[in-house]
Each structure stands twice: as C-alpha cells, then as structure tokens.
Amino acid sequence: MLFEASNATPIYNERLAIVLGLITLLLAVTSFISCRTCVSWLKYLGLKKITTSRGYETFNRYHIYYWWAFGVFLTSHVLVAVAHTGWPQAADPDAGIHWSILGIGALSSLSSGIVFSSCRVLPRLAAMASSKSPLSNPGYRFFLKYHTYYWGIFLSLAVVHFAISYSHAGIWPGG
C-alpha cells in the first residue's frame, strides 16, 4: 500500500499549490514594500515619516533576503502547480481554467524576473561576481529607470493570476 496511488493526491497537490501560492504572494508583497519604488510612493503620498522610521529601515535592510525567499517559494509553487495540473488535456473539464491559471502565472513569473533584474541589489551582486559593475553599461542604466513600471506589470499579472485561481479553487478546495 506504500506506493499505491491515492485518490487524494490531486486535492493534496492543489492545496499545497494554494499554500505555496499564498506564501509566494506574501513574499511578493514583502519584497514590494521593502522596494525603493514603494518608498518613493510612500514619500509622494506624504508618508515620509514611515520610511524614515527605525523599524521600516530595519525591515528594508533585508530586501534581498525577501527576494531570495520569494524565488524559492515561487519555484516550489510552480512545480507543485504543474504537478497538480499536468499538461491540461481537452478531456479535463477544468482544462481551460488550468491553462488560464498556468499562462497568467507564467507571465507573472517572467515579469517577476524582470523586476528582480532591475532591482537595486542586482548590480551589487553582479559587482561581487565581476570586476565591472553593470551600472557602467548605459543600456542597463536605461533599463533600471523603468523599475516602477515593471512592478506595476508584475503586480497586475499577480492579481489577475490570484483572481482566476481563487475563482477556480477558492481559498481551500474541498475533497
């Protein structure tokens, strides 16, 4: 019985994908809140006092760690979600919604890579690995200028992915 297939495996995979997705969403929000873009928006909204508080500065100091945790959980979420849906087949009544969830999720994952590529910590990491900083490249500096817009694209796709996923499974699917 140890290696016998269980009828509970699909629901378990779906629930695990949801838990990992919620943790990934929380880490995405944490990365955003500790980002220079959010700091700029808070200052623009007249909330500069928050950004200069000792607690926020301490929280902000760990920005790179939030990104790494986000990457680990995003990868886990994707792997479990694909294990749950497989390659959606036309015979599956949920194939259409699974394709939508996987497609928007893939675009969201790709856009998170673009956000990370334009993050302030990446040039520092690259400078440690190479003698030349990527900031000396005018094309890369141009790319960095649009960091805020990349966040907008990513967050929009993540919201759509979450909305479609929630409409399909809710917060906790029943067995």
Is residue 12 pLDDT above 80, yes or no?
no
Domain of 46, in residue numbers: 10-86+93-169
Residue 5 lies in a domain: no
Is residue 109 pLDDT above 50, yes or no?
yes
Residue 142 lies in a domain: yes
Ramachandran quadrant class, 170 (left: phi over 0; alpha: psi -120 to 50; beta: rest): left
Residue 75 lies in a domain: yes
For the chain, give the percent of residues with pLDDT over 90.
48
| pLDDT at position 174 | 66
Residue with tokens 């016998």: 4
pLDDT tens-digit series, residues 37-51: 888 888 888 888 888
Q: pLDDT grade, residue 4 (50/70/90)? A: very low
| pLDDT at position 6 | 46
One-letter-per-residue 3-state SS of the chain? CCCCCCCCHHHHHHHHHHHHHHHHHHHHHHHHHCCHHHHHHHHHCCCHHHHCCHHHHHHHCCHHHHHHHHHHHHHHHHHHHHHHHCCCCCCCCCHHHHHHHHHHHHHHHHHHHHHHHCCCHHHHHHHHHCCCCHHHCHHHHHHHCCHHHHHHHHHHHHHHHHHHHHHHHCCCCCC
| pLDDT at position 5 | 43
Residue with tokens 């838990």: 19
pLDDT tens-digit series, residues 54-78: 998 899 899 999 999 999 999 999 9
| Count: domains in the chain | 1
What are the residues whose beta carbons fall under 8 Å from the beta carbon of 103, sequence distance 6 or more? none
Residue 58 lies in a domain: yes
80 vs 133, higher pLDDT = 80
Residue 30 lies in a domain: yes
20 vs 130, higher pLDDT = 20
Residue 32 lies in a domain: yes
Residue 133 lies in a domain: yes
Instruction: Please state the φ and ψ torsions of residue 153, each to the nearest 5 degrees.
Output: -65, -50
Residue 175 lies in a domain: no
Q: pLDDT grade, residue 112 (50/70/90)? A: very high
